[in-house]
Structure 1
Amino acid sequence: MHQMPKTLFSLSLSLCRFPNPFTIQSSTFATHYCHRLTYKNPHLQKDMETLDQLTEEQKNILDDYLAVTGQNDLEIAVLALEQHSWQLETAVQAQFGDTRTPSRPDESLGGLGLDRNAENQTTPPPPPPPLPSQPHHVTAPRSTNSFSRSFLSWFSWPINTIWSVTWSLLAYFYTLFPQTFRQAITGRSSQSGPSRPPQDPASVAARFLREYEENYGTEHPNFYAGGYSAALSKAKNDLKYLVVYLHSDEHDATDAFCRETLANPELLSYLRSNDFLVWGGNVKETEGFQVATTLQTVRYPFIGLIALSQSTTGSSATKMVLIDRIEGPSTAEQIIQRLTQQVARQSAALERLRAERRERELAREIRQQQDDAYEQSLRADREKARQQKEAREAAERQKREEERLEAERLAALERKERHMKYLFENLPEEPAAGEPGCATLSFKLWNGERIIRRFRGTEPVENVYVFIETIEFRENGSKADLQLEAEQHLGYTHEYDFVLISPFPRVKVTDREKLIKDEPALWPSASLVVELKDDEDVDE
């Protein structure tokens, strides 16, 4: 109920002002409707406060919800959207579909004054009117009234007692019957909603398209494969015109309209070329019926044109509004003419909205590019810092490794020198010149210097090598002044970097375990050349 004649409004206002005990139900309804009709005036400040608390996106969702459901109570619409986390599709489905949450009939379906359970419920009888209130000006004697009430109470007491007992027994036995039998007696269903559960809008749209093509063929507008609220949102987001077609199988003009008008090639080409979004629904479905109620459809077939429009002049808020309606039989030429007129009338405003959206999208794209460039620069800086950090860590690791190797080299050199000094100090003294059983060996060092020394024939060849290796520890050597303690390193195997060679014939003296007298190249005398080993000799 969206409008009321002036006479009915006056009657309702009078009922609000002068209540009557026997018209309490009508007075309550009139008071509520008076409140609904005067919604904008007493609650304007409260509505503005509610709107100020919403974001721009929530305001757009609220506009779509009001346009879809026809709800004219802003507070109830905001409450319904908050209960569904501002999901437009879910809120509209809850409004149009089956829901078990009880609510006031005149608010649950967009202020249409309809109860969602009206399909399967009979109208409950109105409650009995309350007893008339006692007047304050009583002129009759109190004794007469007391005697009358006492007499009536004693006379009605047996009747009331019998009635109460009988009613209690009937109510008890009524609960013992099965539920199906109780439903047959009362004629009411236990369910609070329609017998068919709510379905997905996409499934309803697919069923509508399938039934339409089975009855009228495949030549038809490209119907949107989704619900009405989804089509409304898509048209608003894409800045397109939405053409709504409401189909009714009960009307005689529907068959000819679908076969001739909607299948007309010129109309189909016009809709495609102008990029109209077309949504179709059958009024026998819950969603189609609710759309028909919201758009206040009177005759069928119904064609409605919905476009995006600004709420007020100078305001940035926009909403989808019905700008034209074609009801009853019509030709394709008439529909094209009406659509062309409305498009020409709305094109300037729609182009302005499109230009504003392009500017916003361009600004958003520029911001996105700037953000991407900043992120890329930030990633490059992070990568550069990471590489520098890794380079510093690698240099520090290399430095520590070099220091470790150098320390090991110095420690090995010191260990070698201590061991050589130990061998030098434990080397047997040179035998006297006339001592028998000795070999006289002449050495030509790597620097050209010649040295002659005698060795006992019972000494190992190792002593000859030790003598050459420890020449630097002699007083006339370069390391005679080192104050290194002699130390024997057990398990230490010394590697000599030279080899003794007998030149004629050329023979290398390498077996250091032999005794001197058992080595032909040394006994009883020999002239030896001390040659430094090269890399190949060291590897061997």
Structure 2
Amino acid sequence: MSSSAGDISNLSQAQQEALAQYLSVTNSDTTQAISLLGRCQWNVEIAITRFFDGEPAVDPVAEAQAQEAAVRAAAAQRPPPVPLQRPPHPLIGNPRSSASSSRSRSSDIIPAPRIVPQPNISARRPPSILALFFLPLSVAWRITQGFAYLFSSLFPFLPRLLSNFYSPLNRRGRSTTSSRRSLNPRDTASRFIREFEEDNGVTGLPWFEGGYAQALDLAKKDLKFLLVVLLSPEHDDTTSYTKETLSNPEFVKFIKDRDIILWGGSVADSEAYQVSTALMCTKFPFSALITHTPQTSSTAMSVVTRVTGVVSPQKLISKLTAGIAAHSEALNTIRSRRAAEAADRSIRDEQNRAYEASLARDAERARQRRADEAARLKAEQEEKERQEAMELEEKRLLAWRRWRARGLKAEPEAGPATSRLALTLLDGQRIVRRFGLGDLVEDVYAFVECSGVEAGSESSPPEKYEHQYGFKLVSNLPRKVFEPDQGQTVGDSFGKSMVLIVEPLAHEEDDEDEDEDEDEE
């Protein structure tokens, strides 16, 4: 126990935190934990994996470090190569890149540039003077083509024999011209995936269906590892490598478990050839593990592991595991920072939304208050106008009554030319009055309307006033309504005597409604 305490006291702060995290997951002995973490370069993820899955026969981290040291030592002792004076081969690569590749091996990380395929440049027609100069050659070429077509038509078996003769030369890497049609990056990737599955079957590899630039941007945005696989159809070991290494179930499981973006291409295509040149590829098959390297810059994407030539799936997985382990901590740090920034941004957005919602509620309340106040003022104004109209109407009615009372005839004396009417007014008062038989029914209406009103000095009715009686004169048995505007006289309507009831118009309307309901029933 004392030796363990002494070992812990000698550890750095970062190592003590890694030890505490490891012990919280595995609950193992402290001495064994320190030993295992030391063999794993104090990488907690690798140490926990080895604790549960067991330690491999060969340490991938130590092997990768030893390989890198050996490569750097060999590069330091190797003399610089002499550049070859010949054009680059479209499938093998640029020979001058060997010097750059040897220098790049002196460091563990090399930049991974973003490659966008350049469109094919269409051929331009030569000037008219040069066209005249080359006209004889063009005519001769057309005649030669015609003879060749005629010869191939007469002897159709010769082209197949010639193609069979030259095909071994083409497979050995001699001059050959690619007849593959140039496509956009997405279609080129789909063609590569289709050809790979046709040759090797459906292996389950999650190939990225897009261009190299898109895969690089996705790896940079999501902080993932990008594995670039470049194959050459002219290489003799391409078929065996794809079947035994890339199609191996362990490799497929490794790619899926680590969520690695897998992009592949054939250097017979323009985009893959440009990528191989940018990544300084000199030998096929070629694999490059690319990821974001914040230690270089905040936006740098770099090649952290290169695997050239034919290797076993176990060795390929080992090298990729070492590269991932060396850069996972930096990526996790950036992921944590981005998660914290996203959380802060989410909190700010939520606060802004809550503030905007509060402003919207306050604005709605203010609008509702203004609308209620406007409705109240409008109702008050309408009520005021209605009261003023009623007062004006009452004034006009009083003025009309006083004018009409002045024009009423005096009650005649009893005689054969008079009619005795018994009137029951609206207030229940009973009045008996005589009218001349020649008086109009409207005079009786005027008498009732002006009952209790003193005659005034008005010589004319109010201007723009049309009086309408608010009652009807009705006989009881039998019930009959007498209208004031039909021009009938008292004698014709009432005779010598009659009992009349003064009913308001509302009462008469209710009676009419009841009569209509009875008729409908």
What is the TM-score normalised by the length of structure 1?
0.60
State the match for 1:60 in structure 2.
none
Alignment pair present for 1:461 and 2:441: yes
> How far apart, in 1, do the equivalents of 2:135 and 2:347 lie?
70
Q: How does 1:93-492 map to 2 (within 5 A)?
A: 93=116, 96-98=118-120, 172=129, 175=132, 181=138, 199-219=183-203, 221-312=205-296, 317-431=298-412, 433=413, 437-447=417-427, 449-474=429-454, 486-487=460-461, 492=466
Summarize deviations over 1:474-517 as a string: whole Å, max 9, x none.
26xxxx6xx86741678936133253546xx5755625443222
> How far apart, in 2, do the equivalents of 1:242 and 1:295 lie?
13
Could you say which structure has the greater relative contact order, defined with CA pairs below 8 angstroms and 6 or more residues apart? 2
State the match for 1:67 in structure 2.
112
Q: 1:517 aligns with which of 488, 491, 498?
A: 491
> How far apart, in 1, do the equivalents of 2:432 and 2:243 lie?
131
> How far apart, in 1, do the equivalents of 2:390 and 2:292 lie?
87
SS state at 2:228 partner: strand
> How far apart, in 2, do the equivalents of 1:400 and 1:225 lie?
74
1:220 and 1:262 in contact (8 A); partners too: no
1:450–1:264: structure 2 CA closer, same or farther, 3 Å change rule?
closer
SS state at 2:360 partner: helix
1:459 and 1:515 in contact (8 A); partners too: yes
SS state at 2:290 partner: strand
SS state at 1:322 partner: strand
1:198–1:420: structure 2 CA closer, same or farther, 3 Å change rule?
farther
1:202–1:506: structure 2 CA closer, same or farther, 3 Å change rule?
same
Structure 2 residues without counterparts, runs of 5 or longer: 1-78, 84-99, 101-110, 143-177, 513-521
Summarize deviations over 1:281-305 as a string: whole Å, max 9, x none.
1111111011101110111111111
Residue 180 of structure 1, CA deviation:
8.7
> How far apart, in 1, do the equivalents of 2:136 and 2:189 lie?
36
> How far apart, in 1, do the equivalents of 2:243 and 2:179 lie?
33
SS state at 1:281 partner: strand
* Aligned residue identity for 1:274: R
Summarize deviations over 1:26-74 as a string: whole Å, max 9, x none.
xxxxxxxxxxx9xxxxxxxxxxxxxxxxxxxxxxxxxxxx7325xxxxx
State the match for 1:536 in structure 2.
507
1:497 and 1:538 in contact (8 A); partners too: no
Q: Which stretch shows the higher mean deviation, 452-461 or 296-305?
A: 452-461
State the match for 1:50 in structure 2.
none
> How far apart, in 2, do the equivalents of 1:353 and 1:448 lie?
99
1:311 and 1:318 in contact (8 A); partners too: no
Residue 6 of structure 1, CA deviation:
8.0
2:421 and 2:500 in contact (8 A); partners too: no
Residue 395 of structure 1, CA deviation:
3.0
SS state at 1:68 partner: coil
Structure 1 residues without counterparts, runs of 5 or longer: 10-36, 38-65, 70-91, 101-116, 121-170, 186-193
State the match for 2:515 in structure 1.
none
Residue 344 of structure 1, CA deviation:
1.5
1:224 and 1:231 in contact (8 A); partners too: yes
1:469–1:500: structure 2 CA closer, same or farther, 3 Å change rule?
farther
Residue 436 of structure 1, CA deviation:
5.4
Summarize deviations over 1:386-433 as a string: whole Å, max 9, x none.
3333333333443344344444434444443444344323322333x3
Q: Which stretch shows the higher mean deviation, 410-419 or 451-460?
A: 410-419
1:472–1:178: structure 2 CA closer, same or farther, 3 Å change rule?
farther
> How far apart, in 2, do the equivalents of 1:179 and 1:249 lie?
40
> How far apart, in 2, do the equivalents of 1:182 and 1:361 lie?
70
**RMSD over aligned Cα atoms:** 3.7
> How far apart, in 1, do the equivalents of 2:375 and 2:240 lie?
86
1:340–1:8: structure 2 CA closer, same or farther, 3 Å change rule?
closer
1:501 and 1:531 in contact (8 A); partners too: no
SS state at 1:393 partner: helix
Summarize deviations over 1:148-191 as a string: whole Å, max 9, x none.
xxxxxxxxxxxxxxxxxxxxxxx958537659939979xxxxxx
What is the TM-score normalised by the length of structure 2?
0.62
